[in-house]
Structure 1
């Protein structure tokens, strides 16, 4: 998308040098309005609903095969966390429609307790973004976005899939819009016995059998937008999610446990969009609850409830046709309450509350249609914590028709989570926020339908928060060492049509060095090499795709022990589909075609070859 169209969709287009003879476009409401601005300066990988169908098991699988992120999954469908550019899970921000949704308790997102379906696009942005997206946006951010459009009438679709290990996946979506009102409703249900076997992976004296690996989840999404005037809309987006995960055991007689989670996210927005001015006022409520059962047949042993009240305003104004200012203000009230089966227990979280506010200012200068700059500054006000001043600078230059370059420099941070501060025993009220200095460059080479992106980067992270054992018999968080992370991300894409034939290639390679500056050793669960590739061929109503993932040697200890490291592996997936009468699609997928034995977390192997069949109906 070029600058003119991006700005027009944002309601920011102003000045003849930007507009020219631009044609009118359909009215589209994007809940995360900042993302279109981010794309003017940073490469962002966009994953569409059609891409999601290729990796429909869960969000972990999707990100593993279609992004540069390393996903640590304790067996299929279990606890899962991201490692972005060699950072920790707490240093990746999950953003739902412009709102940071990292857990207040853990400071991170549990990837498998975030719905996979129900979004119009998933954007993956590498690099620091704390000036816009707040705490945790150090290594990168994952954006779960919904879009509402107008004058599209009625549409509906049903997706249903059945796969190995008694896995059933269903998704239904319906939408209606006219010139004033747009409504979209969707729901998903996923269940799996997940009882896969890996006999070659020996645990004790026997092969691995994923006993007690069952999981299920349900999600409902409701979105609506109404034009209250020519340049004003009021919109609502709501998501409800309920999930259960049984934690795998290594023996049939092992103690069987489970974890249940419920989330509620609700967002109301009032937007004004004029030719040189726009304003988005958002009020949101998010709730994250979980319960842990130390025995499947007994009441919950522990749990917690988290509630967040959020007010955010995003104001944009073109002072001149070339200068745009952007002011963002946000205020949150974060509340949490822990639960222990024994009322007199001295462990866990009590009743806590924290106020968090922030003010950001950005200025964008469009020197010419080929050269633009952005500078930003932000101050956070976190109750009980001294927060650093954050800043960012970005520049993008379309130097030649076939060569574009960009540079980004920023300071980012993560403030301590509720568990870091208040867990009993061990919580540390003296913790400092983690901070990072990030710099990266982006080089885009375009030759017709072929595009290559090269992005070298460097990060210096200070005051890393680690939980370490104490002389008193419990663990406690402390600010420990610095981490230096550097490497290269690359992406190559090629799209070509020959009559009824279509070919699409998409491949990426990531080189990552993430070094503990005290020991000069690689951080845990950071593969030095990762490569992904997708190839898709279509002819008329027929499509065939293949998907590959290579993961290099991955250390699982802080001292680079080779004996306990995860060996390199290569995974190949493939699938075929056919569209019938344009409304019906039937497909068949084979995951892990080569029957590879592999793991992403030590001692928890992933499934060998498995299959699924699916059908889609469009109305």
Structure 2
């Protein structure tokens, strides 16, 4: 039998052989690009079981299970991510293949993105603008759903009670036969969040409560042996009270309501596959300068999206991929000076993949964006993967990426600047992976240079204004060790990661604020029969909170450890307990907002 190459594409797996072809029906994945991305790039996948370890919010999960640095204004409050020393605006949040960064801020508030309701979360460091568009400079976080067929009925319930009057409930149900598949889930989380940290100036998290609710519905129907129609929708409602330092201060809050809906028509066979998507996303937000009075600012953003992804196999070795997309971005602000604004955005991407042998493959892509009233650069990407030896693999990635200005950058009054240019970046990385027995070690040095950084700086008129300012140079090293071993009823899995980041404002020759030099995270899982134990730790090095590297104002290094124990009873019932911040570490991810000391939770998981 001749050598074969396995390509996972859309809802089918294609076995491309030098003598035969075979199509296997598996599952439908809404983000049909993700499995192609994984052929050339390191992607960290968080499963629903892993999510339950850090069920408080998405911020906590990313902090303990990835290299991403999370800047959180206290537990459950405003939160933003940083990949490889970049900003939150340079991180793309992608929901089932569709970007969901805010039209206004150009970023995603991590704690206003649901944690539950997805089949997997994928985390990709490095640029990805050729496939995922504006904002995918430092990295991207993917919230993915899938639907399978011929699986019958399944349901589950996760319920948790935790410190600070925190309650979290998630329910999911699904049914599928050979032609129809659907899935429904709902989650509600609420917390008084009134923790105290007396060692840090007698800090009390006053007015820190939050709540959020989200619903997900997905369905797929096979209209022909190789065609199907699918639909997925998500509704989210969030409420955050912003902490105050004294009882005499006016209490504020922020509310948001998000809608996301996507319809897809997919056509797959052995030679080509095509996915046509029509999507609608909407964000609504209101800020209350006094929780007892009407809103003081807010906005509504709407996006209408058409996207087509066409794949054609010229031969078992050559694959071409054409992606076209058109969006209408709309926004209307309240008390922000932003009127009724609209922007048309189109793009055309071409990707060619060449599979020289089973051990050597290449991918090259170009993209041109057409953004109304903004001149956008030509983007490119090149990737290569070489399984040089049984124990060594090398991945090379080079790309040019960009971010166009957000509505706030352009239109906020005062301070918006309609003459802004997009941020652009060049990136290089070389991933080296070594495999010895059951151990995998990866070491990835990288380099990135960002031009025309958009920054809000004081103007001569006395207010802050959006400006294309300095260049940023970011370089560093990411490494990860993975281990898995199963012997009898015992199972051991470990995942340890370390990153060094040097991200410099080239004008000042200083480290960017809130970019730690060092970060370490680790998760170790041990399972024996019906018992499961895990421990996880996260070390964060010295972090400057200003642009001048003032040591007195910097966040001190800290190490936080969590642990959990669970037991499965009668096959379908799992009871667990978790202890977070075991050693009572006093730490902050944002200056003046300490995170909780030791806290606890108990949970029950039922599978039907």
Partner of 1:17: 18
Give the drift of 1:254: 1.0
Give the drift of 1:11: 4.3
Partner of 2:406: 417
Give the drift of 1:243: 0.4
Give the drift of 1:27: 2.3
Give the drift of 1:302: 1.1
TM-score after normalising by structure 1:
0.96
Identify the match of residue 321 of structure 2 among 305, 313, 326: 326
Q: Distance in 2 between matches of 1:304 and 1:478?
A: 23
SS of residue paired to 2:8: helix
The answer to whether the 8 Å contact 1:241/1:263 transfers is yes
Give the drift of 1:7: 3.0
Partner of 1:74: 73
TM-score after normalising by structure 2:
0.98
Partner of 1:344: none
1:372 aligns with 2:361: yes
Q: Return 5+ residue gaps in structure 1 as ranges.
A: 341-346
The answer to whether the 8 Å contact 2:490/2:528 transfers is yes
Identify the match of residue 312 of structure 2 among 295, 301, 317: 317
How does 1:444-483 map onto structure 2 within 5 Å? 444-483=433-472
1:212 aligns with 2:212: no
Q: Distance in 2 between matches of 1:278 and 1:537?
A: 41
Compared CA separation, residues 554 and 152, structure 1 to 2 (3 A): same
Compared CA separation, residues 9 and 474, structure 1 to 2 (3 A): closer
Q: Distance in 1 between matches of 2:189 and 2:260?
A: 20
Partner of 1:232: 227
Q: Return 5+ residue gaps in structure 2 as ranges.
A: none
Partner of 1:174: 173
1:274 aligns with 2:272: no
SS of residue paired to 1:320: coil
Q: Distance in 1 between matches of 2:260 and 2:516?
A: 34
Partner of 1:392: 381
Q: Deviations over 1:220-243 (max 9, x none)?
A: 000001100000010001000000
Partner of 2:131: 132
> Would you identify which runs of 4 or more consecutive aligned residues in structure 1 move more than 2 Å?
2-15, 17-20, 24-27
Q: Deviations over 1:171-196 (max 9, x none)?
A: 00000000000000000000000000
Identify the match of residue 293 of structure 2 among 287, 298, 302: 298
Q: Distance in 2 between matches of 1:15 and 1:68?
A: 35
Q: Deviations over 1:394-426 (max 9, x none)?
A: 000111111111100000000000000001111
Compared CA separation, residues 44 and 420, structure 1 to 2 (3 A): same
The answer to whether the 8 Å contact 1:18/1:369 transfers is no
SS of residue paired to 1:77: coil
Partner of 2:153: 154
1:118 aligns with 2:117: yes
Partner of 2:344: 355
How does 1:38-57 map onto structure 2 within 5 Å? 38-57=37-56
Partner of 2:278: 283
Give the drift of 1:447: 1.4
Partner of 2:34: 35
Partner of 2:515: 526
Taking only aligned residues, the RMSD between alpha carbons, in angstroms, comes to: 1.3
Q: Deviations over 1:467-506 (max 9, x none)?
A: 0111222111000000000001111110111111111111
1:497 aligns with 2:486: yes
Q: Deviations over 1:343-375 (max 9, x none)?
A: xxxx43111000000000000001011110000
Compared CA separation, residues 529 and 3, structure 1 to 2 (3 A): farther
